[in-house]
Amino acid sequence: MIREKLHMFRSLTLLTFLCLSAFACSSDSSPTVDAGGGDGGLVCINPVTDCTSPRPCFSFSCVDSACVEVPVAEQTPCGDSTEIACNKADTCDGAGVCLPNLAAVGESCGSSSSSVCDAPDTCDNSGICQRNHQPVDTVCGDASASDCDQPDSCNVDGVCARNFRPGIVCGDLTDTICNRPDICDTNGSCVPTLAPVGTVCGNQASSDCDRADSCDGAGICSANIPAAGTSCGDTSNDICDAPDSCNGAGACLSNFDLAGTSCGNATNEDCNAPDSCNGSGTCLNNLATAGSLCGDSTNDGCDLPDTCNAIGDCNDNFVAAGTACGDSSSGDCDLADSCNGLGTCADNFLPVNTACGDPNPSDCDNADTCDAVGSCQDNIFNPPCL
């Protein structure tokens, strides 16, 4: 592409542009006439203002009143102004061509470091500074080999790298749960592969008092029977149930208090006896069953015998208010007896002075009214009228 560019520029001849009044002449609206008289035609006086923009690496000059392109001086900036290691800014060659100024192939650039896996950087044929690493896996450095360390070789970054083989089996090939075959580490060494302390092995039974066998960290599988008295199972600790503990032979013992052992609420009432252990770790509240007799044993029309309600309370069992009881007769001042809801049979006398009997007053007799004991009184004047 660059070769075509050079060929095109060098094949062009100098172009002559006529200075026209509205396009390539002075900005003055009237024609500019040559001071020598000429033939009265339009002339080019100032190429900066009277000529159009030239091509790269050319400038205009007024020759015989015409705009003429002439090459600019060598090294005049043109084209791409980018400055990098292998591609300098474009400049004119003095003959009208804009040169790309690419560095020669193989010219030094970038890093000048040199090693068995990395030669100094050089420019390629397109203006790029390229790294010059040796091919990957080229042998370098230490050529010795072992199970865990192969000969050194160049890597993709141009570095002579060690070739350790982490995870490869080596050395002792013993293979048990607690002692696996030796393997190579990340530093090229052959190391033992011992299971960590606590790794499960052997007997897989696992409980609080007979835990699964585990490795001791030195390649041995150890049994794990906790000592007698070791806490296990239920850790509850109250008056009826002490914390469970191991017996030293792999069993977890419940530690319940004996049945009847006092616990909880010591209240002792008709409906609530003192709490006691049941022998299985529970403290019983010993509440009397619903309907058990308690308290007042009175049994009449308005007050039945007291009974327990199954939650420790003794209920009065009063008959509902309004229930018939006692004297069932009913008069003007004395209604039939009924329960008052508090265990008493009420007489139900009407209030004093409630109208009753003869409601008509006279000169010697007021209207009849109820007294305080359920009777209707005549209310005759005393002394009597004469």
Domain assignment present for 140? no
Same domain assignment for residues 21 and 97: yes
Domain assignment present for 49? yes
Domain assignment present for 132? no
pLDDT of residue 366: 84
- Residue found by looking up tokens 């030195």 in the block: 218
Straight-line distance from the first to the last Cα atom of the chain, in angstroms, rounded to the nearest whole number: 161
Give the CA diameter of the chain. 176
Cα–Cα nearest to 247, from 264, 226, 216, 271 = 226
Domain assignment present for 171? yes
Question: Number of structural domains, the chain?
Answer: 2
Same domain assignment for residues 154 and 98: no
Domain assignment present for 302? no
Distance, in Å, from the CA atom of 55 to the CA atom of 51, rounded to the nearest integer, reads 12
Cα separations in angstroms, 32 against 26, 45, 171, 307: 7, 8, 103, 137
CB atoms within 10 A of CB 182: 21
Cα–Cα nearest to 66, from 33, 19, 13, 15 = 19
Same domain assignment for residues 93 and 27: yes
pLDDT of residue 152: 93
Same domain assignment for residues 94 and 183: no
pLDDT of residue 11: 35
pLDDT of residue 108: 92
Beta bridge partners of 214: 200, 222
Domain assignment present for 63? yes
Are 10 and 97 in contact by the 8 Å Cβ rule? The answer is yes
Same domain assignment for residues 83 and 173: no
Cα separations in angstroms, 113 against 84, 130, 214, 349: 19, 13, 56, 127
Distance, in Å, from the CA atom of 209 to the CA atom of 225, rounded to the nearest integer, reads 6
pLDDT of residue 49: 76
Same domain assignment for residues 163 and 86: no
- Residue found by looking up tokens 């004297």 in the block: 327
Same domain assignment for residues 88 and 178: no
Domain assignment present for 185? yes
Q: What is the DSSP letter of 291?
A: T
Helices (H) and strands (E) in the chain, counts: 2, 23
Cα–Cα nearest to 80, from 56, 103, 107 = 56
Q: Which residues contact 379 (CB under 8 A, 6 or more apart)?
A: 365, 366, 367, 368, 369
Chunk the chain into consecutive blocks of 10 residues (it has 386) and report each block's average pLDDT, rounded to whole numbers. 35 32 31 30 69 85 87 92 90 93 90 90 91 91 89 92 92 92 94 93 89 92 92 90 93 93 90 94 92 90 92 92 88 89 90 86 82 84 64
Amino acid at 262: S
Domain assignment present for 172? yes
Of 85, 102, 119, the last residue of a domain is 102
H/E stretch holding 180: strand 179-184
Of 161, 178, 194, the last residue of a domain is 194
pLDDT of residue 180: 93
Of 136, 163, 194, the last residue of a domain is 194
Residue-range definition of the domain harbouring residue 166: 149-194
Q: What is the pTM of this model?
A: 0.33
